[in-house]
Structure 1
Amino acid sequence: VVSMHQRGFGFAMLADPAEAAQFKKDIFLPPGDALGGAVHGDRVLVRVVKQSGDRAEGKVLEVLQRGITRVVGFYVAGKSTGLVEPEDERLPYKIVVKRARSQGARTGEVVYAEIEKFRDQGNPEGKVLEVLGDPADARVQTEMAIRGFELSHRFSAELLAEADGLDARVRLTKERQDLRQIPFVTIDGEDARDFDDAVAVEPLAKGFRLYVAIADVSHYVRPGTLLDEEAYARGTSVYFPGRVLPMLPERLSNDLCSLMPGVDRCTFTAIIDFDQQGRRRHAAFQRSLIKSRHRLTYGQVRAMLEDGDPELSRRYADVLADLGLLQQLAARLNEVRMERGSIGFEIPEADIHLDEEGQVDRIRRSERNVAHRLIEECMLAANEAVAEFLEKNQAEVLYRIHEDPDPVKVAEFAEFASAMGLQIPPNPGGPRWFGQVLKLAEGTPREYIVSNLLLRSMQQARYSPENVGHFGLAASHYTHFTSPIRRYPDLLVHRALAALLGGKSAKKVKGQGALLPSGHSVPEAGVWLSRRERVAVDAERNVNDRLAALYMTDKVGEEFEAVVSGVGAFGIFVELVEIMLSGAISLSEMLDDYYEVEEKSHRLLGRRTGKIYQIGDLVRVRLQEVDQRRRRLNFVIAS
């Protein structure tokens, strides 16, 4: 598959894993004849013509299949025909559309078009499928990303009918433990609409008993159903500011599987005992029935635990002591994780808020408080306990793995950090070392940069049937159990757990193929679901960049505090301190001196003044330009 660069060259990414293993890197395709008429996304037959070091160079012999036939673009009307200019600059053509097939699109509007006929020479022909609207509208920008990433955003009528036909009666059966007397609460964000996890705690003579109850999605979504096929195809819910593309219809996500207060709900509960130091002593898992006491928000819990808010403390007096106990347990669980070397990343993000009209009215640094950490520790503890149980029982299931980082990337990071003046500890590479480096930057303007660079030096976490542990958490066992309403791997884990608790051996479960839609294996699911997660993450970032550019359009000329996050031959990257948006300053705009790039020390040095700009420096910048099409913010150094 051809992946094009905006400068005209490309790379051939080999589809067959065995063939790909022969090459350390994707095959380089120089611009011009070597591309053989191929464009971004095409499936091609390629011949290797040259090998230089660890990079092979190739030539496209034949375009086997056009990879991109549907395109998001900008419409330009003509007399009898119009043109659709693709938003993706890697597509080197415009689509010719006859007026009768333009759906009434007007010049400047965003459309979703289909290519019907490619030509050896000249522009392809096609038609407009949808007119999305004005690109200055935040809702239209979100729709552009949804179409561009080919995300499923509607459920079929047949599937919705299947969801509506589910039995809503909740009954206590012999395989369910009645936990309705346990004072569960849900703790979520202010805008959350689905509540798929609830927590409770009891004091023990020598420790704590933690209850983590998760919506029992597997009770409703069975293999072989339309709901299951669609959930597997989507793989995950996708979250945008003000909008979600759910993995499951609202009938499930906001109703049957939402742990609303005062309502009996089917759950899967992890019951875990810890000693006073927060070390796990025993774990049990049970299909259950719960009735949540309260729907709490992170802000409310923080106000009670940190500020002692009198009104909230009175309103939730029946669970106030439990919240305090949960806070104690979470603190000890965190201490245990940190002691074993878990990496304590705290990376703030831009929190984008939309008004009632669906337009961006506010961007600010996201908050992470005591309540977020409390829930996080409870979920991590449940995921680890479930993973250990599954491996002990030899279940064929997906673990959430995070492999050791590439030593070369770690060495490069250590060089970066040293250039910033950090006294890097010896023996780089282990989780504990990463934690020590984060501590060095904690509380400084460089903390965000160091965290991001560390993160980039690591492997991406993924799903795999082979448990190799989780490097970032320094955990020998880890899986995803706590969000089956929005992640398919969690649903798979629930099914495996239910089968084992029902007395079936791992071998029998595997033989029945009862965990996945027909025709899919667990190893294949690991690859597919990891890929779907990656697409979701990329789409979410894409929308955030789009909305950030829209928000900043009327702020050209304003000044901001920023931190230098990267240095290169082009100039410097910056990150705005208050609202966590990224931008760049071109070297050509730095007119007070002639700056030279010192690559080894990752800095710019002014030849005349000796002025230095390096990663981690605080600078004051002025927004010069917003490039909405490329989703870029261009700054200059403020005088």
Structure 2
Amino acid sequence: MKALLDPRGYLAEGLKRLRAELDLADGFDATVLAEAREAAGRPPQDHRDRTEWPFVTLDPASSTDLDQAFHIEQAGGDLLLHYAIADVGWFVRPGSALDREAWRRGTTQYMPGGRVPLYPAMLGEDAASLLPDGPRPAVVFSVAIASDGKSRIEGVERSIIRSRAKLGYETVRPKDLPPLLGDLARRIRAAEHARGAERLEAPEQELTRDASGRYTLMLRPSLPAEQDNAALSLAANLAVAQLFIDHHGGLFRVLAEPDARAIARLRISARMRGIAWGEQENLAALERRLDVGNLHEAGFLLEIRKASRGASYAPWTAGEKPWHAAVAASYVHGTAPLRRLADRYVVEAALALGRTGKWPDGAAETFRTLPPVMEMASQTAHRLDRAVLDLAEAVLLEGREGEEFAAVVTEVGDRGAYIQLIDLPVTARIASKDLKETDAIRVRLDIADPEKRRTQFSLVGNAQLDASAA
């Protein structure tokens, strides 16, 4: 899980228990480790020397699993992004124990202060990671970015690269960044705006203690360098998606728009937070003007992200256009193969198309097989995320029993009503059969138990809001 930080380890004991409950692996078996050691020493043989290009990486300062490095040059009116992706396919042989274990895990699983990696550290954080301590094999996508921000693939090749610097979001200075990065990011944002898309990143939640010793969840907006770096991945993934569409195949990331019920709930929540939302204004337009530095608006952005039922993977289907609502375009995930299994196959397919114009053998079957594997990994991540948030919410609210809070009903089911607090990023369930979705209510905190990761609220009454007007 990446959305909750715990820099001082307040959740440490609860997280230790949670890891055991979910049976998250602590390591890899001896066979997998032996194969990883052998793979780490495998010399590149089919790679073009691009060590003269001044690649850099840009990630969280503490990261060591570096999937991407980049170099940008001017090409007439275009910007040419050379986007190097860790060449995981070079190291992992199909059918090997290392490969089978990656298929079992699906993704790297994140939690505050730790993770369960997709590959052993000797690969994911060393030999395959694009660290600046020597040459590394990579698949380099050369992506042209036009003046209107539209991207297209100019070439794909296996290369040897050497990163010049490991830049960190938190520490990088403007003078450290490649000079064309700002222009490229502006072009990508302009194209997003033209499509009606919005890439405003939801803030991370960080558990801290205030001056009184009480826990609080702070919302940390993404940093400017983080936003610019995300534009690079977006440009590459959009260009690969178009390459796949042109060749009538591939694996896509798809996401539906929030449905009418979700929009109605969001409108109620916006009013309770004091956020103006015109009746004729769509959700994307509202997102564009949210201020993630404002507590209420940042919390509302988190609600928006939760309102969708979630993205999924879908193989190419003739006659259907794969669509990702948040991106407002066809889209793939192909830039994080150290952390996501499916990305390895997206990269390999794009490489084959770039070289020969043909799909690799078995690609269609692989793309049909991957979605349920990735969905299972996503479900594990969701259970982990929910359990971590339950724990954090109980830690946050401990000692506040008896206090009242404004909330909105987000869903009603057989087990009661699900609510979202307005002034805190907390969701919960209350045992009430007399509520309906979008009701604005007040609730009282009855129990906050970090040991059991449990909070319990009871209904006090309706908030001072005419829900029918929203």
Q: TM-score, normalised by structure 2?
A: 0.80
**Matched residue of 1:299: which SS?**
coil
Unaligned segments of structure 1, at least 5 residues: 1-135, 306-312, 355-360, 589-596, 605-612, 615-620
Task: Label 1:254 to 1:282 Cα distance change in 2 as closer, same or farther (>3 A).
Answer: closer
Query: Residues of 1 paired with 2:201 and 2:373: CA distance?
Result: 29
- Is the 1:170–1:265 contact (alpha carbons within 8 Å) kept by the matching residues of 2? no
Match of 1:17 in 2: none
Match of 1:627 in 2: 449
Name the structure where helix makes up a greater proportion of residues: 2
Please list the CA deviations of residues 2-29 of structure 1 after superposition, one character each: whole Å capped at 9, or x if unmatched. Answer: xxxxxxxxxxxxxxxxxxxxxxxxxxxx
User: C-alpha displacement at 1:220, in angstroms?
Assistant: 0.6
Amino acid across the alignment from 2:27: R
1:372 equivalent in alignment to 2:209: no
Match of 2:3 in 1: none
Identity, % of aligned pairs?
26
Query: Residues of 2 paired with 1:262 and 1:167: CA distance?
Result: 15
1:464 equivalent in alignment to 2:286: no
Query: Residues of 1 paired with 2:247 and 2:161: CA distance?
Result: 27
1:249 equivalent in alignment to 2:102: no
Task: Label 1:285 to 1:160 Cα distance change in 2 as closer, same or farther (>3 A).
Answer: same
Query: Residues of 2 paired with 1:439 and 1:502: CA distance?
Result: 39
- Is the 2:269–2:300 contact (alpha carbons within 8 Å) kept by the matching residues of 1? no
Match of 2:377 in 1: 532
- More off after superposition, 533-542 vs 181-190: 533-542
Query: Residues of 2 paired with 1:490 and 1:571: CA distance?
Result: 35
Match of 1:448 in 2: 298
Which structure has the larger Rg over C-alpha atoms? Answer: 1
Query: Residues of 1 paired with 2:207 and 2:269: CA distance?
Result: 31
Task: Label 1:457 to 1:587 Cα distance change in 2 as closer, same or farther (>3 A).
Answer: closer
- Is the 1:425–1:436 contact (alpha carbons within 8 Å) kept by the matching residues of 2? no
User: C-alpha displacement at 1:635, in angstroms?
Assistant: 8.6
Query: Residues of 2 paired with 1:183 and 1:447: CA distance?
Result: 39
Alpha-carbon RMSD: 3.8
Amino acid across the alignment from 1:437: L
- Is the 2:144–2:151 contact (alpha carbons within 8 Å) kept by the matching residues of 1? yes
* 2:59 aligns with one of 171, 184, 188: 188
- Is the 2:35–2:97 contact (alpha carbons within 8 Å) kept by the matching residues of 1? yes
User: C-alpha displacement at 1:156, in angstroms?
Assistant: 1.0
* 1:582 aligns with one of 420, 426, 432: 426
User: C-alpha displacement at 1:211, in angstroms?
Assistant: 1.6
User: C-alpha displacement at 1:143, in angstroms?
Assistant: 3.5
Higher relative contact order (CA 8 A, sep 6+): 2
Match of 1:109 in 2: none
Match of 1:77 in 2: none
User: C-alpha displacement at 1:138, in angstroms?
Assistant: 4.4
**Matched residue of 1:263: which SS?**
coil
Task: Label 1:451 to 1:191 Cα distance change in 2 as closer, same or farther (>3 A).
Answer: same
Query: Residues of 2 paired with 1:522 and 1:558: CA distance?
Result: 50
User: C-alpha displacement at 1:339, in angstroms?
Assistant: 1.8
1:234 equivalent in alignment to 2:89: no
Unaligned segments of structure 2, at least 5 residues: 1-8, 210-214, 411-415, 461-470
1:289 equivalent in alignment to 2:131: no
- Is the 2:268–2:408 contact (alpha carbons within 8 Å) kept by the matching residues of 1? no
1:435 equivalent in alignment to 2:284: yes
Please list the CA deviations of residues 116-168 of structure 1 after superposition, one character each: whole Å capped at 9, or x if unmatched. Answer: xxxxxxxxxxxxxxxxxxxx994442243233333333311111111112252
1:339 equivalent in alignment to 2:339: no
User: C-alpha displacement at 1:275, in angstroms?
Assistant: 2.8
Please list the CA deviations of residues 156-207 of structure 1 after superposition, one character each: whole Å capped at 9, or x if unmatched. Answer: 1111111112252544x4x423221111111111221211211121123323
- Is the 2:156–2:351 contact (alpha carbons within 8 Å) kept by the matching residues of 1? no
User: C-alpha displacement at 1:464, in angstroms?
Assistant: 1.0
Task: Label 1:550 to 1:403 Cα distance change in 2 as closer, same or farther (>3 A).
Answer: closer
Task: Label 1:245 to 1:587 Cα distance change in 2 as closer, same or farther (>3 A).
Answer: closer
User: C-alpha displacement at 1:600, in angstroms?
Assistant: 8.0
Amino acid across the alignment from 1:465: P
**Matched residue of 2:171: which SS?**
helix
Match of 2:332 in 1: 479
Name the structure where strand makes up a greater proportion of residues: 1
Query: Residues of 1 paired with 2:40 and 2:204: CA distance?
Result: 40
- Is the 1:265–1:289 contact (alpha carbons within 8 Å) kept by the matching residues of 2? yes
Query: Residues of 1 paired with 2:221 and 2:269: CA distance?
Result: 28
User: C-alpha displacement at 1:630, in angstroms?
Assistant: 4.1
**Matched residue of 1:482: which SS?**
coil
Count of residues in Structure 1 that have an aligned counterpart in Structure 2: 435
1:542 equivalent in alignment to 2:390: no
Amino acid across the alignment from 1:388: Q
User: C-alpha displacement at 1:533, in angstroms?
Assistant: 1.6
Amino acid across the alignment from 2:144: D
1:144 equivalent in alignment to 2:17: yes
Amino acid across the alignment from 1:523: R
Match of 2:352 in 1: 499
